Amino acid sequence: VSSVFGAIGTSIFEAMSRLAVETDAINLGQGFPEGLEPQEVVEAAIEALRAGPHQYPPMLGLPALRQAVAANTRRFLDIEVDWEQEVLVTSGATEALSDAFFGLIEPGDEVILFEPVYDSYATIIRRAGGVPVPVRLDPPRWELPADRIEKAVTRRTRAIVLNTPWNPTGRIVGDEELRFLADLLLKHDLVAISDEVYEHLVFDGRRHRTLFALPEVRNRVVRIGSAGKTFSVTGWKVGYVTADRRLLAPIARAHQFITFTTPPALQAAVAFGLNQPDRYFDGLRATLAERRDLLVGGLRAAGFKVAGVEATYFALVELGDLDPNGDDFAFCQRITREAGVAAVPISSFYGNRDVRSHVRFCFAKRRETLEEAVRRLAAWR
């Protein structure tokens, strides 16, 4: 498995999923939901596919979906967005991130990332000629360290990348931290790429918060969402970018040369999904909170040290003395083979792979799957 700051290698998600298939293990490694797809959204896709058209949709995305993204931003975040000039549809958040990096970063530009960091950012920033500059966060609170961030800024810094709600920490970045980042953007003339794919997966009455909602930096923030997470259809690969038109334009130009468009029937179905009443979004949160409690509660009862989860569908388990060598990757391989449950090591979210403190389990699964996974891990332990 490659370092997130090295040449392009095998992603940990691919590596662990492959091992899970080979060993017929329950796959709680790579994050993807099981049995949570809303049937009415799937039906909307089937209907749209029957009806066509089947040719390239508009480069920026179907108007219906761009309008739905804007309407959602108003409904859930109280932010006005011009759907014609400020929304771009992409083939997943992964493409949106690549478009943003290729569109906004010039060779030599530095981009500040917060570790533990999602593995696609640094790889693509590098290929775009940029220089990823990691800043580390410390468990158990994973708060943004203002002093370390200030120190990481240089004359070459162009952007910061933020992921909130945060994979793999399961936390929501707080108002004060966002305030600090907003000031940083203004002070050093930076832009922020804000990966908010888990925006709707927030629990216990918490609210998603975004830099994009702070008026003084509204024109410096690229907000990225994903239908994969919001509708539990990760295979669909429909994402969306929202940004001021001056920021969106270069991102859309990059999109022309990466995928150009995204399957129109899936766009139509996602538009239908985003227009669902609040109860759909509330229901998703409630179901995931229940699954979280099942996994976290079950693992704790079995003696594992599991951190609380505010948001996302990931839970972090402390490695402690679970592995004789303190090797989180070896531990993940061992439980996959021996217990029949796959997880993901936190070291793959660090450029130097030197932090091995936790392993990540995905709880967006059927009840029976989680119960069986807990049984296996308890018996193994």
Give residues in contact with ligand GLN (CB under 6 A): 11, 13, 30-31, 167
The smaller minimum CB distance to ligand GLN, of residues 237 and 255, is found at: 237
Q: Which does 266 bind (CB under 5 to 8 A by kind): ligand PMP, ligand GLN, none?
A: none
The smaller minimum CB distance to ligand GLN, of residues 18 and 75, is found at: 18
Q: Pick from 231, 253, 239, 243: which is nearest to 99 by CA? A: 253
Q: Which does 92 bind (CB under 5 to 8 A by kind): ligand PMP, ligand GLN, none?
A: ligand PMP
- Report the site for ligand PMP in 219-238 (rule: CB under 6 A): 226, 228, 234, 237
Instruction: Determine the distance from the C-alpha atom of residue 75 to the mean position of all C-alpha atoms in its chain, rounded to a whole number.
Output: 21
d(CA 298, CA 291): 10
Q: How far is the CB of 216 from ligand PMP (least distance, A)?
A: 25
In the three-class reduction of DSSP (H, G, I as helix; E, B as strand; rest coil), residue 241 is classed as: strand
Q: What is the DSSP letter of 28?
A: -
Helix pair 264-274, 63-77: axis angle to 10 deg: 30
d(CA 309, CA 66): 31
State residue 126 phi and psi, 5-degree precision.
-55, -50
Strand 87-90's sheet: what is its strand order?
Answer: 87-90, 239-242, 221-226, 191-195, 157-163, 110-115, 131-136
Q: Are strands 221-226 and 239-242 parallel, antiparallel or unpaired?
A: antiparallel
The smaller minimum CB distance to ligand PMP, of residues 31 and 298, is found at: 31
Q: Which does 350 bind (CB under 5 to 8 A by kind): ligand PMP, ligand GLN, none?
A: none
Site pattern 77..96 for ligand PMP (x: CB under 6 A): ---------------xxx--
The reply on whether position 118 binds ligand PMP by CB under 6 A is yes
Site pattern 8..47 for ligand PMP (x: CB under 6 A): -----------------------x----------------
Q: How far is the CB of 312 from ligand GLN (least distance, A)?
A: 9
Q: How far is the CB of 317 from ligand PMP (least distance, A)?
A: 18
Question: No. of H helices and E strands in the chain?
Answer: 14, 12
Q: Which two tokens stand for residue 193?
A: 């790429």
Q: How far is the CB of 224 from ligand GLN (least distance, A)?
A: 13
The smaller minimum CB distance to ligand PMP, of residues 126 and 376, is found at: 126
Residue-wise DSSP of 75-115: HHH-----HHHHEEEESHHHHHHHHHHHHH--TT-EEEEEE
Q: Which does 210 bind (CB under 5 to 8 A by kind): ligand PMP, ligand GLN, none?
A: none
The reply on whether position 262 binds ligand PMP by CB under 6 A is no
- Which ranges of 145-301 would DSSP assign to H, the alpha helix? 146-152, 175-188, 227-230, 245-258, 264-274, 278-301
Q: How far is the CB of 349 from ligand GLN (least distance, A)?
A: 9
| Contacts for 320-329: CB closer than 8 Å, 24+ residues apart | 326/356, 327/356, 328/356, 328/357, 328/358, 328/359, 329/1, 329/356
Closest residue to ligand GLN, judged by C-beta, is 31
Q: How far is the CB of 107 from ligand GLN (least distance, A)?
A: 26
- Report the site for ligand PMP in 335-374 (rule: CB under 6 A): none
- Report the site for ligand PMP in 135-174 (rule: CB under 6 A): 163, 167
Select from 195, 199, 244, 328 the one that contacts ligand PMP (CB under 6 A): 195
Residues that bind ligand PMP (CB under 6 A): 31, 92-94, 118, 163, 167, 195, 197, 226, 228, 234, 237, 239
